[in-house]
Structure 1
Amino acid sequence: MSGPNTNYDPVEVSALDPEAIESNVTDALAAITAAKGLDELKAARIAHAGEKSPLALANREIGALPPSAKAEAGKRVGQARGQVNKALASRQAELEAERDERILVEEAMDLTVRPDRRPFGHRHPLTLTAERMADVMVGMGWEIAEGPGVEAEWFNFDALNFDKDHPARQMQDTFFVDPADAGIVLRTHTSPGQARSLLERGAPLYVAVPGKTFRTDELDATHTPVFHQMEGLAIDEGLTMAHLKGTLDRLASALFGDGLKTRLRPAYFPFTEPSAEMDFQCFVCRGEDPDCRTCGGTGWIEWGGCGMVNHNVLRACGVDPERYQGFAFGMGIERSLMFRNHLADMREIIEGDVRFNAQFGMEI
């Protein structure tokens, strides 16, 4: 921006020169008239009426003029910008009308025409993903278990080594069933399946527990108050973190393709010790594209939590931790579906639009 100029000469401020302003208006009107669609018009608006357009920059120069010159320059620039904005509004209305007419023709439907056949139904992709994950676990010799969505607080928290004052137990994270002091909650994870399976079946034990879970999250592109997980629990003699990683490597390969590298990052969960977050190598760029939208250029994708079952959990379920060891993991099914099929918005999964389901085809 120019500094104060007491000896104002319009020719010296090139951005405010009448010929320059007229040329800018001419260029703007030509670009607006040449726009064949709303996207092209948007580009013309940014170029000729945006904050960095020539007319906007000229308008900023007015502040550096002496008071005697501001009125004339302001009027000249204001009229030019008004002319451009008027042309933009007029062309916007024309293009929107053309678009609406085109939509009426292209998307017209004759509701009186009898369809040739009934459309095929499509199973929900969440169901398909959960079954695919369960099939992988069954193929490794595991069993599939189920648990209730309305769960006793003891199974959801106490048996899993959550302290009484753990933040996850508060009302802002957990749905409590009335009355709130009854000790009944909507399960916040599928991990209660660990305690139920151990109490019902004992050790040794290899079970996967897919199911629906509930948390007081706001619905947005990456969160939903109702979502799905698959819990895995293995209890036997001599199990180590190596068995855990090998199991998750096999599951990741089955879902996202062979040859993916995985890694474990230290983490904390009350029901496992040691605990880790499982990452797998980006299956899109394989860690070679710094601009990859899938992994954010890191080369790694966070999948879920895992670890060796805490001895307190084993004791709470009547299992001798001196004899048996085990590992557990919990993977989000929505998250797996989004990564596997490159979905950007979790809301698409739950809106119930049959066109969304149709793109995944039909599987038996």
Structure 2
Amino acid sequence: MYQDKVEALKSEISKAEANTKEELEAYRMRFISKKSVIGDLFSAMKEIPNDQKREFGQLVNSVKQLAEEKFKELIETVNAKTQKAKSSDIDLTLPPTNVEVGGIHPLTATKQRIIEIFERIGFNLSEGPEIEDDWHNFTALNFPENHPAREMQDTFFIEKNPDIALRTHTSSVQVRVMENQKPPIRTLSPGRVFRNEAISARAHCIFHQVEGLYVDENVGFADLKQTLYHFAKEMFGKETKVRFRPSYFPFTEPSAEIDISCLLCKGKGCNICKGTGWVEIGGAGMVDPNVLENCGIDNQKYTGFAFGMGIERIAMLKYQIKDLRLFTENDIRFLKQFKPLL
């Protein structure tokens, strides 16, 4: 009785065909799955007399093996037909589809170019947290207790902890580097910073800075000037002129603001440079000895210089952009103009 059933199943399996995935799945459900006809045969094992179980088991195993081998053949057949169908759907005579490629954001392109310039003269990159404590953001940098930057109208403080704030500059990263690394130090710290300012065409509460630091023996102001001369001419062109104006910063002494000749009017005077022919790009100076001491560096042996620039300001000058807000509005019409930056 069971021999006839097994032989009938073998005949059915040998004649089985499958041209689609649906037919392949139907075969699997009938012959391979746990609830298949072969599975039913295994379940009937308990009804077979003990002296016939061995012979019955061999019969059922033979049909199971045949079903599995046939299943593998059908899989190959269906895959081959599917691949052939896909190939036939492709019309090689059709013109190619124009894929629109995106561009690098102008701020990203500007930051990458700045990093490239300074890396070539030995600066390495350093990063730090955007949420800083008072020590790294203010105190270690020689900010007096009554400095305006410590007031709520200039800085975003964490409400539940007045000693924690969103960093106002990436100088805090430089403090962390000096605390954990011995001179010589030559590092560049790009990153996002936050200040409590009204958003306008020339100001934003969130912007990007890049700050540089060089600490070693016998570092002088001439080293600072030559470094920034090199940067300005690499970034804006060899015809660019640079000037330094005396200024004040708590963490540098002496301090200076850096101007370059206006790229629009070539120094002749326009509304961008307010008729002066010069545009400010950042601040710089010799690291104050108190800052070195706060960071555990011998200020009798080592000196250093530091500088800082706004990446948005550099991008505005480089690409002649007049509204700072365009960088953060994600207007596709604006961003499409920078595809050549790829």
* Cα distance in 1 between the residues matched to 2:258 and 2:265: 18
1:272 matched to 2:252: yes
Matches within 5 A, 1:53-202: 116-181=97-162, 183-202=163-182
Deviation at 1:116, TM superposition (A): 4.1
2:263 alignment partner, one of 283, 305, 313: 283
1:257 matched to 2:237: yes
Question: C-alpha deviations, 1:156-196, integer Å up to 9, x for none?
Answer: 00100011121101111111113133x11100011111211
The residue number in structure 1 matching 2:69 is none
1:315 alignment partner, one of 293, 296, 305: 293
Give the letter for the 2:316 counterpart: M
Percent identity, aligned pairs only? 47
The residue number in structure 2 matching 1:246 is 226
* Cα distance in 2 between the residues matched to 1:233 and 1:131: 18
The residue number in structure 2 matching 1:325 is 303
The residue number in structure 2 matching 1:94 is none
The residue number in structure 1 matching 2:188 is 208
1:225 matched to 2:217: no
For the 8 Å contact 1:193–1:231, the answer to whether it is kept is: no
* Cα distance in 1 between the residues matched to 2:104 and 2:318: 17
Give the letter for the 2:257 counterpart: E
For the 8 Å contact 1:272–1:309, the answer to whether it is kept is: yes
The residue number in structure 2 matching 1:348 is 326
For the residue of structure 1 that corresponds to 2:231, the secondary structure is helix
Q: CA RMSD in A?
A: 1.4
Give the letter for the 1:255 counterpart: M
Q: Highest Rg: 1 or 2? A: 2
Uncovered stretches (5+) of structure 1, i.e. residues with no partner:
1-114
1:358 alignment partner, one of 326, 336, 341: 336
Give the letter for the 1:267 counterpart: S
* Cα distance in 2 between the residues matched to 1:153 and 1:359: 41
For the 8 Å contact 2:110–2:315, the answer to whether it is kept is: yes
For the 8 Å contact 2:215–2:302, the answer to whether it is kept is: yes
For the residue of structure 2 that corresponds to 1:280, the secondary structure is strand
Give the letter for the 1:278 counterpart: I
Give the letter for the 1:360 counterpart: F
* Cα distance in 2 between the residues matched to 1:178 and 1:318: 31
Give the letter for the 2:133 counterpart: A
Give the letter for the 2:237 counterpart: G
For the residue of structure 2 that corresponds to 1:232, the secondary structure is strand
For the residue of structure 2 that corresponds to 1:164, the secondary structure is coil
Give the TM-score normalised by the residue count of structure 1.
Answer: 0.66
For the residue of structure 2 that corresponds to 1:361, the secondary structure is helix
The residue number in structure 2 matching 1:92 is none
* Cα distance in 2 between the residues matched to 1:296 and 1:220: 18
* Cα distance in 1 between the residues matched to 2:294 and 2:172: 12
For the 8 Å contact 1:121–1:362, the answer to whether it is kept is: no
Deviation at 1:296, TM superposition (A): 2.4
Count of residues paired in the alignment: 247
The residue number in structure 1 matching 2:19 is none
Deviation at 1:362, TM superposition (A): 5.0
For the residue of structure 1 that corresponds to 2:174, the secondary structure is helix
2:217 alignment partner, one of 237, 244, 250: 237
The residue number in structure 1 matching 2:53 is none
Deviation at 1:363, TM superposition (A): 4.2
